[in-house]
Chains A and B, each alone.
Chain A
Amino acid sequence: MSEHQPTKTLDVRGEICPYPDVNSMTTLKQMAKGEILEILVDYPLSVERIPRSAKKSGHRVLAVDHLDGPNHRILVEAHGLR
């Protein structure tokens, strides 16, 4: 488990494709530089794709932690695009 303190938590468990990804990226875009977003997600494709898209958009992926079953916790430090 990572030690970073999230600024904000986004729970997209149960959501269908592509809402986990779209909501995560939109939220990250609205956050200031250095703020940390915690994303709770259970959709396997998004667990793999959110870190990829976040990195591509210039954010920093701090951790992808496996919780239980399909549940994952992704921590991303916002690049601060605003």
Chain B
Amino acid sequence: MNPLIFSGVAIGLLFGFALQRGRFCMNSAFRDVLLMRDFTLLKAVGVALLVELVGFEIMALTGVISLAPKPLMWGANIVGGVLFGVGMVIAGGCASGITYRVGEGMVGAMSAVLGFLFAGLMSVMGVLKPVVGYLQTTTKVMTADDKSLTLANIFGLPHSVMAFGIAAVAIIIWVAWALTHKSDEDEFGDKPRSLAERIFKRGWGWLATGIVIGLIGIIAFPVSAATGRNYPLGITMGHVSIAQTLVTGENKLSWESMLIIGVILGAAIAALIAGEFKLRAPTPGILLQTFAGGLLMGFGAVASGGCNIGHILSGVPQLSIGSIVGGLSIILGAWTAAYLMFVVPEKRASAGQ
């Protein structure tokens, strides 16, 4: 085992801390747009992607990293992504969300992680492995010189031109939006008295959260690459590799496994400092529900070749078409499930009155 993989624990501690403080969960980010017309977390995701888009590209141009966009496997990306998206709404959290909430003491998240591990193992080495293999191999599309398709190479543009171009357009739209829309953010309760209180005791705002998560993603890339794993943050294979090692006795631990351990510890530390740690469980029915959601997520993430972190946080800023298709499928699945689970019953209840 490469001793460098333990750097994953350090990055994980930072990542877990930031996830807990920023309440950064893509399940909430996507679902709440539909459910509560709340864009707070979605804005945090957008900022993180923008920071990474620029950061990855600068590191690639200066030779610090070589980009590693995931390949397009459209069938696997779509089927896996949609199932993952449905699963995360049922489980009450995305892959990173259920992981950091284990550190907050949420038993519902723990049962979701168990489901995620179980289905993840079945998909990597068990009965679902042929299904995953079939989906991935039959729908894989590469460039003529066997490279992963990206938003840059499908238009025949240099990667940096596309990346900086998208970043520039995004910033212009953001500034225009900020100038024409009044901020409607309120803080309830007492005002924080110091910077330390703001960092350690209060939930972070979307801008701070997005910037910090983006910067952690940038640092993660070269640090992980130094261990032979040339990719930024990821969650799915970290979980699965730990379970695989425990079940088979064969050492499959990687940088990503260490990242998971760090995330859980980092979130626990953040929650303890803020006084937000508490072992708490929902009703038995909801516990079963989160386990079932975890199962869907485990298969979906392995089939799709990435979860909301591998595809959206780490893949989209590398302009991978596979990650964009996978990410959009996750959002589609999440919206479908949220509509059926929350919007339809609500409408029915209102109509019945």
Contacts and interface: CB of A to CB of B under 8 A. Distances in A.
Contacts of B353: 30, 82
Contacts of A26: 346, 349
Nearest to A16: B92
Interface string B89-121: 000110001000000101011000000000000
Given A18-B92, A42-B280, A66 B31 contact: no
A21 B36 contact: yes
Contacts of B283: 14
Contacts of B146: none
Interface residues of B, number: 41
A25 B343 CA distance: 12
Interface residues of A, number: 32
A61 B188 contact: yes
Interface string A15-26: 111110110011
Contacts of B282: 14-16, 19
B278 A49 contact: no
28 contacts: A13-B280, A14-B280, A14-B281, A16-B92, A16-B93, A16-B106, A16-B109, A16-B286, A17-B28, A17-B93, A18-B31, A18-B35, A25-B36, A42-B278, A44-B104, A44-B274, A44-B276, A45-B25, A45-B203, A48-B203, A55-B186, A56-B38, A56-B184, A65-B189, A69-B276, A70-B276, A70-B277, A82-B353
Interface string A61-75: 100111001110000
